[in-house]
Every structure is written in C-alpha cells, then in structure tokens.
Amino acid sequence: MRKSVTAAALAAVLAVGSLQAARAETLLVSSWGGSWQEMIAKTIGKKFTETTGAKVEFVTGGTIDRLNKAKLAAGDPETDITLTTSHVGWLYQSSGLFETLDYARIPNAAKIFPEARISPGHVGVWSYVYTIGYRKDLLPEGLTFDSWEDLWSPKMKGLLGLPDFDPSHIIAVSAILSGADPQHWEKGQDKLLALKPSIKAFYTNDASSQQMMSSGETPVQILLSGNAFYQMGQGVDLALVIPKEGAVIGIDAIGIMKGTKKSELAYKFIDAAFDPEVQAEIASFKKLGPMVEGAPVDPAIARLPGVFTTAEQWKEQAIVIDHKLRAEKLGEWKQWFTEHMIAQ
C-alpha cells in the first residue's frame, strides 16, 4: 500500500511538472517583485508588448537570491533578461552570465548618459540615490544635514538606521570624509567606528526601513530616495537631503542572459526601456532618475532631490562608487562591517 501511495505521489509530481510547457512568444524577465515588477510591467513591458506583440512574464526575487540561482543555472538560464543592481550586474558579467550587448541593436540607447554604460554586458536603466532622510517632527533641536559629517554629531546618539544588506554607502562616505576614496576605504575605518554611537539599528529591506521610519524607531536613516518619496506620499513627515559632498548614486541595470533563445525579443525589450517616453513614465512611477538625456520627465519629478536629469547634476551631486570595484569589494566590506559594526 505504501508503494502505491509513493507511486501516486510521484505520478502527481510528474504530471504537474509537464504542465510547465513553454508558451510561445513570451519573454521571461528576472526582476524584483512587488512595486518594481508592477512598474516594469506597466512601463517597459507595456511598450514592449505594443511594439512586438509578445508577452512578458516575471520571475521575481531578491537581488542576491536571483544572483545565486542564475549562477547555478549558468548556460540554461531560467529567464531571457535580468534586471539587477549595477554592481551585482558585474558579478553576473564576470561569471559569464551576460551576453555582450550590441548597441547597434538598441537604437534608443544612443542618448544614454555615459554613466549608464556599466559593463559590456549590462546597461543602466534608471538611477536613484542613497542619502540622508529624517523625520522632521522627531529631529533634535539644532541638528541639520548640510554635510554627511553631521551624522557624527553627538545629537545623533541612537537615532540612525542603516541598511544591513549593503554598507557601501556609508563606507564610501567615510572614506571620502577621511580624505580617501572607496578604493582606499581602509582609511575611513576609524571614522566608521566613530559612527557607532549614532546607530540605532539596521533595516533588512525597504519595507522594514519604512516600518522603522514611520514608527519613529530610527528617525534618521540612510535610505533609498524612492523609498523616502513613497513614505512622504503616505503622510510620513519626512525630509530628504543631498549633503554638500553629494549623494551615493545607485543604478539599476539590465542584461541579456547568455544562452537565451530569444535574443531578438530581448533587444527589443531593452530598446523599449530606453524609449524617452518610457523613461519619463519610469521617472514618474517611482520617482527615479532617467538614464536617457532629454527624456520628457515631469518637471515636478525632475525637481525632487536625487532625481538627476542633466549631466551637470551627475557631476555635482552624485557620489559614484565604481561598480566593478564595488562588486569586488562588497564581500570584504560586508565582512568588515558585520564584524566591526553590526555584531559588536
């Protein structure tokens, strides 16, 4: 009897497995879930379907989880396209997971900012900043954030929240404030250690950042600009500042998976992403910066801090950590940060 139960169960597993037969003309896109998926579907995906008639299906997950899965599936990718963060894209690139991009097949990419060309295999599609955001109603008297240096103020004691998944921002800033650069980040270690009294907690994702900000648990955070704008929209009394040293830029990028059988459609998808109208829609949807110069971004969006629409803004307000350096150093940074800042 036990045997027949096992056999029936196996049969059920197989039957369900065979239901996954691929549908024709569907482009599989790996991206973050939730509102990101929604945004990509309603902007790039919509345009792509209009021009090609093909559908888009998403495989969603966290940046790291998708990277690990993609690496294990090298040569037989689950998806045709991957959207990921610029420096993590370098790990795809150096592990041979991306195809080399042929820009001749992406006409709309002619006007992209030079910062968008990240590696031969991936190209930036939108930008944002990680910078200082604070609760106006909960800030101690006399505390302002003209400079990143203000995070070290004694008034900041026990107020700061930082992301635990990526310490690059504060490491780069500490290096710069110590007269060095991200390449020579060790020079900023003492500065980092001196920040510890200010730190209250670390958040694990955007949702927990929101939770900790809206509850007042950490009234000052280094956080994603789009995340801050979202909270303002929900009525949280939040302000976002770009300190005089600039804000740490983040770029999300797109690449074609090596081994895809839908290379033609994949290029069409990337081209749709750089359509100026689509770039403007992306900017409005999540208050992100476009990567195409001259995209018709709503002026109300373009005015927001951290939304860069001109080459000058990139020059004056952005701290760009070299993406390849960041990919190589991230392990070392995280380890040092975990050992000396988090787990102490």
Partner 1 sequence: MIDQSYLRRFLLPALLLAAVYACALAAIVQYAFRTFVPGSLEVGPPTLHNLARLVDPLYARVFGDSLLIGLYTAAATLLVGYPLAYALVRTPSRALRSALFVVAITPLFTGEIVRTYAWLNVLGANGFINRILLWSGLIGQPLELMFTTLGVCIALVHFSLPVMVMILAAALAHVDPRYERAAATLGAGPLRRFALITLPLSMPGVVSGFVTIFAWTLSAFATPQLIGGGRVTMISNLVYQLGFASFNFPFAAALSLAAILLTVLLLALLRWSQARVDRMAVHA
Partner 2 sequence: MSPRFLSPRLVERALRLGFALLVAAIVGYVVLPAVVVAIASLNASAILAFPPDGLSLRWYATALGYRDFQRGLVNSLIVMAIASTLAVAVGAAAALYIDRSGHRLRGLLEAVLVSPMVVPNFTIGLGFLIFAVEVGQARTFGVVVVSHVVLVLPFVLRSIYVSLRNIDRRLERAAATLGARPGRVFLEVTLPMMAPGIFAGWVFAAVLSFNEFTASLFVTARSTKTLPVAMYDYVREYADPTMAALSTLFIVTTVILVVLANRLVGLDRILTMESPR
The yes or no reply on residue 24 touching partner 2 (CB under 8 A) is no
The yes or no reply on residue 32 touching partner 2 (CB under 8 A) is yes
CB of 229 to partner 1, least distance (A): 22
Q: Smallest Cα–Cα separation from 335: which of 202, 174, 167, 204?
A: 167
The yes or no reply on residue 102 touching partner 1 (CB under 8 A) is no
- Which residues in 42-80 are b (16+ Cβ under 10 Å) and which e? ebbbebbbeebebebebbeeebeebbeebeeeeeebebb
The yes or no reply on residue 138 touching partner 2 (CB under 8 A) is no
Distance CA(209)–CA(325), nearest Å, equals 26
C-alpha radius of gyration, the chain, whole number: 22
Distance CA(103)–CA(208), nearest Å, equals 39
Distance CA(82)–CA(123), nearest Å, equals 11
Restricted to residues 41-70, the positions that interact with partner 2 (CB under 8 A) are 57-62, 65, 68-69
The yes or no reply on residue 202 touching partner 1 (CB under 8 A) is yes
Burial category of 215 from C-beta neighbours within 10 Å (exposed 0-12, middle 13-18, buried 19 and up): exposed
The yes or no reply on residue 217 touching partner 2 (CB under 8 A) is no
CB of 226 to partner 2, least distance (A): 11
- Which residues in 182-214 are b (16+ Cβ under 10 Å) and which e? beebebbeebbeebeebbbbbbeebebbbebbe
For residues 117 to 156, the per-residue mask of contacts with partner 1, x marking binding by CB under 8 A and - elsewhere, is ----------------------------------------
- DSSP code of 188? G
Distance CA(21)–CA(258), nearest Å, equals 21
The yes or no reply on residue 165 touching partner 1 (CB under 8 A) is yes
Binds 137: which of partner 2, partner 1, none (CB < 5-8 Å by kind): none
Tell me whether residue 187 or residue 324 sits nearer to partner 1 (CB atom).
324
The yes or no reply on residue 216 touching partner 2 (CB under 8 A) is no
Q: SS3 helix, strand, coil % of the chain, rounded to 5?
A: 50, 20, 30
Tell me whether residue 209 or residue 309 sits nearer to partner 1 (CB atom).
209
Alpha-helix residue ranges (DSSP H) falling in 73-161:
86-94
**Count, residues near partner 1 per rule CB under 8 A:** 37
Exactly one of 143, 236, 239, 342 binds partner 2 (CB under 8 A); that residue is: 236
C-alpha pair distances (Å), 84 with each of 31, 251, 304: 7, 9, 24
**Count, residues near partner 2 per rule CB under 8 A:** 40
The yes or no reply on residue 342 touching partner 1 (CB under 8 A) is yes
Tell me whether residue 54 or residue 325 sits nearer to partner 2 (CB atom).
54
Contact footprint for partner 2 (CB under 8 A): 2, 5-6, 9, 12-13, 16-17, 19-20, 28, 32-36, 57-62, 65, 68-69, 72-73, 78, 205-208, 210-211, 214-215, 231, 234-236
Write out the residues near partner 1 by the rule CB under 8 A.
Answer: 2, 6, 64, 67-68, 71, 90-91, 94-95, 164-165, 200-204, 208, 211-212, 215-217, 324, 327-335, 338-339, 342-343
